[in-house]
Structure 1
Amino acid sequence: MRTNCLATRFDLHHGDCVSGMADLDADSVDVVVTSPPYNLDIDYATFRDDASREDYLEWSVRWATEVHRLLKPDGSFFLNVGASPANPLLPHQLVLALQPLFRLQNTIHWIKSVTVQPRRAPELSVGHFKPINSRRYITDCHEYVFHLTHKGDVPIDRLAVGVAYADKSNIARWAHTRGVKRDRRCRGNNWFISYETIQHRDRQRPHPATFPTKLAEMCFRLHGAREGLVGLDPFLGIGHAASAAATCGLERFIGFEIDEGYLTEARSRLGISPEI
């Protein structure tokens, strides 16, 4: 099916991603960008997010095994996962559980809110700050994006998500520019991406645990844009990764979503008729 979202072909499926991915051909996906349930008792419409730690990790290995089978040898798997102040080890336990399948090539910190003190300017606070009331914990303002690959040696396009030099004298001075006077440098692994401001959550963000479309866009661009790319999100939600795939010009995007309501919302946002 072709939609009005650039030329991306969407294959969006209602159902369990483990069995759904099993029907796809091996070595058929270039980039996976996904955010699975975090097992933090989030109130999804139908999915129970409260398994035991052992069951959650075992299930994670099962769906990630299918991702491993589908991912091309030079593919990238971007895994977004968060924690809670009372449960800080979950992201690390998850990536360790996947170590037999993937190499951790990069660790990216998605910064939701940050306060900076410029040298000659007032203190500046930006982003989405969700305070907690605690005598033990500080407010958690970031999540992880683990960049996983088969062997840890996949070339990436760092400047596709790069930033301009603050000190322009560095453009010609730094060795990694190879003498090319280009006002662009590697962004590093701290990515400040705030949620868009909304007025009505039920209408504008009808899902309890979405990531911004911009985050998925940056993952696709970091992997490197080229013709014929196929993307995948096993946990589609309301379609933010699919929207990013269209913006980045992927040829095909595959998604699975177990909740029919979320899938209907994703199709609506992408301009796909409900009956498809």
Structure 2
Amino acid sequence: MELINKIICGDVLEVMKQIPDGSVHLAVTSPPYNVGIEYDNHNDMMSYDDYLAWLMKVWIETKRVLVHGGRFCLNIAPTSIKNFRPVHYDFAAQMQEIGMIMRAEILWYKQTIRRRTAWGSWKSPSNPHILPSWEYVLVFSKGSWQLKGNPEDADITAAEFEKFSDGFWYIPPETQRNGHPAPFPEELIHRLIKFYSYRGNVVLDMFGGTGTVAIVSYKTGRRFIHIDISEEYCRTAYQRLYKIESQMELFPSVVGEPTVEYKKSSDLSRLS
């Protein structure tokens, strides 16, 4: 598949249609939260119904491209206080509606609250607020709980397995933003990739941002497909990966000798 180990800049649905059925082992992503975050090239203030309808199309494509037993790790944060939406529940309901198996809910504890300003009713049960210092990672499987693979390609250690199988993960947020408002910390992606995939598997991030999923996939001997609509984010992802590729002697070897390439969605006709 010519999309492997490529940075693809284009609309998520347009690009995903080019991915063959049953060719991805693990999808890891965090969609735009629709709370007015200033992304480079995305309207983050859709109506809630339009937001859910758009992402439902993405989830359907995600299920299509996953192998039997393939996993989908979906990161989402609680919404704001004044306009609270149970988006994590709505996403879980959407996934179950399309036939995905819900298998876990990881609590990513970030503890980012330093100076409280939104107490609501101070020292009173009149109207107190709870500020979330956590995000969710919802984990789903396609068709089966089991992902088949060569046991020799399972590279998680006993200590890692014991640590990661506890669903309360304290991981500080990423401080190196690389021009993105909400980047993944590498540790979060490292845990998901090591726990839910084999070396050599294909890992997809359909809202790839500045490339953290692709980078960790590359470092851990997986193959990747990175999609994002922002040319700026894709350029940053390419530059980060190119730097790592030139230093690969520091990391484990990667199956298939991948070459990082930057492609726009207009080039996809030549890739498929």
Same-fold status (TM-score > 0.5)? yes
What CA distance in whole angstroms lies between the structure 1 residues aligned with 2:6 and 2:262? 13
Partner of 2:188: 215
- After TM superposition, what 4+ stretches of structure 1 lie above 3 angstroms from structure 2? 128-132, 155-164, 183-187, 272-276
Partner of 2:117: 133
Matches within 5 A, 1:1-276: 10-86=5-81, 87-101=84-98, 102-113=100-111, 128-129=112-113, 131-134=115-118, 135=120, 136-151=128-143, 153-154=145-146, 160=156, 163=159, 184=162, 187-197=165-175, 204-226=177-199, 228-250=200-222, 252-271=223-242, 272=260
1:95-116 deviation digits (Å, cap 9, x = unpaired)? 2122122111111111112xxx
What's the offset of the Cα at 1:40?
Answer: 1.3
What CA distance in whole angstroms lies between the structure 2 residues aligned with 1:76 and 1:137? 35
Q: Which runs of 5+ in 1 are unaligned?
A: 1-8, 114-127, 165-182, 199-203
Give the fraction of aligned pairs with identical amino acids, expressed as a percent: 28
Q: Which runs of 5+ in 2 are unaligned?
A: 121-127, 243-259, 265-272
What CA distance in whole angstroms lies between the structure 1 residues aligned with 2:79 and 2:115? 12
C-alpha change, 1:161 and 1:106, in structure 2 (3 Å) is farther
Query: Which is worse superposed, 215-224 or 256-265?
Result: 215-224
Q: TM-score, normalised by structure 2?
A: 0.76
SS in 1 for 2:5: strand
C-alpha change, 1:23 and 1:189, in structure 2 (3 Å) is same
SS in 2 for 1:78: strand
For these two proteins, the number of residue pairs brought into alignment is 230
What CA distance in whole angstroms lies between the structure 2 residues aligned with 1:150 and 1:11? 24
What's the offset of the Cα at 1:214?
Answer: 1.3
CA RMSD of aligned residues (A): 2.7
What CA distance in whole angstroms lies between the structure 2 residues aligned with 1:186 and 1:46? 34
SS in 1 for 2:156: helix
Say whether the 8 Å CA contact 2:164–2:191 is kept in structure 1.
no
